[in-house]
A and B are shown apart, each in its own frame.
Chain A
Amino acid sequence: MTVPDERDDLEAQFTQWRQYVERRPELRRSDADELEDHLRGSVDGLIESGLRADEAFLVAVKRMGGLDELSREFAREHSERLWKQLVLSGDTDSPVAGAQPRRDLLALIVCAAGAAVSIKIPALFGMDMEQDVAFFARNISLFAFPWLAAFLAWRRQAAPALIAVLLGLFALGAVAANVHPLAEDSQSLVLTGIHLPIALWFAVGLAYVADDLRSSRRRMDFVRFTGEWFLYLGLIALGGNVLIAFVFGTFEAIGIVPEAFIIQWLLPCGGVAAVVVAGWLVEAKQSVVENMAPVLARLFTPLFAGVLLAFLVAFGWTGGGIDVERDALILFDVLLAVVLGLLLYSISARDPLAPPGLFDRLQLALVASALVIDILVLVEIAGRISEYGTTPNKAAALGENVILLANLAWSAWLVLGFVRRRTPFAALERWQTGYLPVYAAWAWVVALAFPPLFDYL
């Protein structure tokens, strides 16, 4: 072996060692530099005392001790490094300056401010938050989601054609919300209020998957995004409540009642801005924080499975029928949606290559018992509808039930196949991501076509 050859080998070993070191969250880049300098010093010393390069490297690494122990010692001094922090101004540790996060922050401020301003525009035309509740109830998602979609489309550098489609969808949403002559107390008004945000959320999803429209992985990313976005929005809402309580309490103490300010400005502007901020937080934090939605899904899957199975046993025991109240259909829609959510978020966090385990069987039990309960309810309700005729509410709830039922039935089949090692896990993932457009289509149908279909009831 020649000397330059030996040097090359040594450099390769140093590179490999560095990769190991840099994988440790406790050790920063500067620590790795420092430790590498130390290692090089000790290798040089050993070579001087007569060892060959590769021997010297082995001895020096051995002397430094295991990386586990080393990281533990570093963690004791730098315990804050184990708490991942959101760095707004870019990765301070990395030599390349964080231009992207700073541009993101700027885009976020523009979009959030845009949302906050846009919700006050109707006020210029004489609309009032307190008097025109119906208008705002129908349109609220139109003040927030387009801005979130704009932020995402900007981040993904969406193609002009896709931007045109997005604009078209949001314009269609505005039409759906405002052209139908609906009475203040009509069922269709409530239905539009519920379904238009869902329909528009899928438009946001289109912006989210802008870089690869057909990819199943990207769609699953959007599912993950939805779960985290929802949780962040909840957290921001909690903080917002505290802020409002303080604004109210402190100003009231000095004789100013800030009620109008809170209702007219803080709540609406803060709310729509929070929608955009939550989306940005998920984007910025996706590699920093453990995803919470799958953790919650893991926690609640066994509990829900237990409750549903207990319900079935109790139902069989008493032998009576289910007392189907007016809202029962909605309740069971929500149940199916929750079960689907649990399934979806467990899928989103699962390693597709892992073999089936106890948790997958638990999931099968959950889905199967939800299906059985839902079929019992459907039989009960089908009779009622044929007897009394249908209303927009019943039609929408029934449609949703059928859609969710179809999804869960096929999912149950796929999970069963997976547990019996007949079908790969990826089939289940593909089924769920392929089904997403169905929800979107249904939400659009309810928001757009239901009012004329049911004579604006």
Chain B
Amino acid sequence: MKVTKDLVAASATPMVLGILAEGESYGYAILRRINDLSGGELDWTEGLLYPLLHRLERLGHVESSWQSPAGERRRKYYRITGTGLAELAEQRRQWDTVVDALKKVWLGPGDLRMLRPLEGGA
């Protein structure tokens, strides 16, 4: 099962902001982290990640700097800002609402586990 493109795009901003809230990071590491978190089910591309990072930077949610840690390559590190944290909190509130609503409807009459026997009986 792969998550659809629309859903990946919709969850992209809170995902990146959430990862950067754990601490500053760079592009390749962020993609690795997303891969680990989702067990490889979220299909992120560089074409999604880097323009998104640049947009978040333009909006002031993250800031970037080129750093060369000892023994490593020069890299562009991204760090979440105050407005970025506020944005993350807002996105989280919205996602919680969506997830809660979905959970309620799936545990209620719309539960797939209850639909399947009905289909089979028809």
A residues whose Cβ falls under 8 Å from a Cβ of B: 30-31, 33-35, 37-38, 40-42, 45, 64-65, 69-70, 72-74, 76-78
- Hey, which chain B residues are within 8 Å of A41, CB to CB? 28-29
Residue in A closest to B31 when the chains form the complex, CB atoms: A38
- Judging by beta carbons under 8 Å apart, are B46 and A64 in contact? yes
B33 within 8 A of A: no
B103 within 8 A of A: no
Known: A30-B76, A37-B75. 6 other contacts (CB 8 A): A33-B76, A34-B27, A37-B26, A64-B45, A64-B46, A77-B55
- Hey, which chain A residues are within 8 Å of B117, CB to CB? none
- Judging by beta carbons under 8 Å apart, are B54 and A77 in contact? yes
Known: A41-B28, A65-B45, A77-B55. A34 touches B73 (CB 8 A): no
Q: How far is the CB of A80 from chain B (nearest CB, A)?
A: 11
Q: How far is the CB of B119 from chain A (nearest CB, A)?
A: 39
- Hey, which chain B residues are within 8 Å of A72, CB to CB? 47
Distance in angstroms between the alpha carbons of A78 and B58 in the assembled complex? 10
B residues whose Cβ falls under 8 Å from a Cβ of A: 26-29, 31-32, 45-48, 50-52, 54-55, 58, 66, 73-76
Distance in angstroms between the alpha carbons of A67 and B76 in the assembled complex? 21
Known: A37-B26, A38-B28. A31 touches B50 (CB 8 A): yes
Q: How far is the CB of A77 from chain B (nearest CB, A)?
A: 4
- Judging by beta carbons under 8 Å apart, are A70 and B27 in contact? no
- Hey, which chain B residues are within 8 Å of A76, CB to CB? 51
Known: A37-B28, A37-B73, A37-B76. A73 touches B48 (CB 8 A): yes
- Hey, which chain B residues are within 8 Å of A35, CB to CB? 46, 50
B51's partner among A42, A45, A73 (CB-CB below 8 A) is A73
Determine chain B's interface SS by DSSP, over half rule.
Answer: helix
Residue in A closest to B26 when the chains form the complex, CB atoms: A37
- Judging by beta carbons under 8 Å apart, are B54 and A38 in contact? no
- Hey, which chain B residues are within 8 Å of A31, CB to CB? 50
B47's partner among A30, A37, A42, A69 (CB-CB below 8 A) is A69
- Hey, which chain B residues are within 8 Å of A40, CB to CB? 73
- Hey, which chain A residues are within 8 Å of B28, CB to CB? 37-38, 41-42
Q: How far is the CB of A29 from chain B (nearest CB, A)?
A: 12
Distance in angstroms between the alpha carbons of A415 and B27 in the assembled complex? 57
- Judging by beta carbons under 8 Å apart, are A38 and B46 in contact? yes
Known: A37-B27, A41-B28, A42-B28. A74 touches B47 (CB 8 A): yes
Could you show 30 A-B contacts with beta carbons less than 8 Å apart?
A31-B50, A33-B66, A33-B76, A34-B27, A34-B50, A34-B76, A35-B50, A37-B76, A38-B28, A38-B31, A38-B46, A38-B50, A40-B73, A41-B29, A45-B32, A65-B47, A69-B47, A70-B47, A72-B47, A73-B45, A73-B51, A74-B47, A74-B50, A74-B54, A76-B51, A77-B51, A77-B52, A77-B55, A77-B58, A78-B51
The residue in A38, A41, A74, A78 that gathers the most chain B C-beta atoms within 10 A of its C-beta is: A38
Distance in angstroms between the alpha carbons of A74 and B66 in the assembled complex? 20
Distance in angstroms between the alpha carbons of A30 and B53 in the assembled complex? 13
The residue in A64, A65, A74, A77 that gathers the most chain B C-beta atoms within 10 A of its C-beta is: A77
Distance in angstroms between the alpha carbons of A35 and B75 in the assembled complex? 10
Residue in B closest to A67 when the chains form the complex, CB atoms: B47
Distance in angstroms between the alpha carbons of A72 and B28 in the assembled complex? 20
Q: How far is the CB of A404 from chain B (nearest CB, A)?
A: 55
Distance in angstroms between the alpha carbons of A65 and B27 in the assembled complex? 16
- Judging by beta carbons under 8 Å apart, are A74 and B51 in contact? yes
* Nearest 6 pairs of A and B residues by beta carbon: A41-B28, A73-B47, A77-B51, A70-B47, A38-B28, A73-B51
Distance in angstroms between the alpha carbons of A74 and B47 in the assembled complex? 7
Distance in angstroms between the alpha carbons of A72 and B27 in the assembled complex? 18
Q: How far is the CB of A95 from chain B (nearest CB, A)?
A: 12
Distance in angstroms between the alpha carbons of A35 and B73 in the assembled complex? 13
Q: How far is the CB of A13 from chain B (nearest CB, A)?
A: 17
- Hey, which chain B residues are within 8 Å of A77, CB to CB? 51-52, 54-55, 58
- Hey, which chain A residues are within 8 Å of B55, CB to CB? 77
Q: How far is the CB of A252 from chain B (nearest CB, A)?
A: 45
Known: A30-B76, A33-B76, A77-B55. A38 touches B27 (CB 8 A): yes
Q: How far is the CB of A40 from chain B (nearest CB, A)?
A: 7
- Hey, which chain B residues are within 8 Å of A38, CB to CB? 27-28, 31, 46, 50
Distance in angstroms between the alpha carbons of A31 and B57 in the assembled complex? 14
Distance in angstroms between the alpha carbons of A65 and B46 in the assembled complex? 8
Q: How far is the CB of A322 from chain B (nearest CB, A)?
A: 64
- Hey, which chain B residues are within 8 Å of A37, CB to CB? 26-28, 73-76
Residue in A closest to B55 when the chains form the complex, CB atoms: A77
Distance in angstroms between the alpha carbons of A41 and B48 in the assembled complex? 17
Q: How far is the CB of A4 from chain B (nearest CB, A)?
A: 19
The residue in B28, B52, B55, B75 that gathers the most chain A C-beta atoms within 10 A of its C-beta is: B28
Q: How far is the CB of B89 from chain A (nearest CB, A)?
A: 24
Distance in angstroms between the alpha carbons of A170 and B66 in the assembled complex? 55
Distance in angstroms between the alpha carbons of A344 and B45 in the assembled complex? 49
Q: How far is the CB of B52 from chain A (nearest CB, A)?
A: 8
- Hey, which chain A residues are within 8 Å of B48, CB to CB? 73
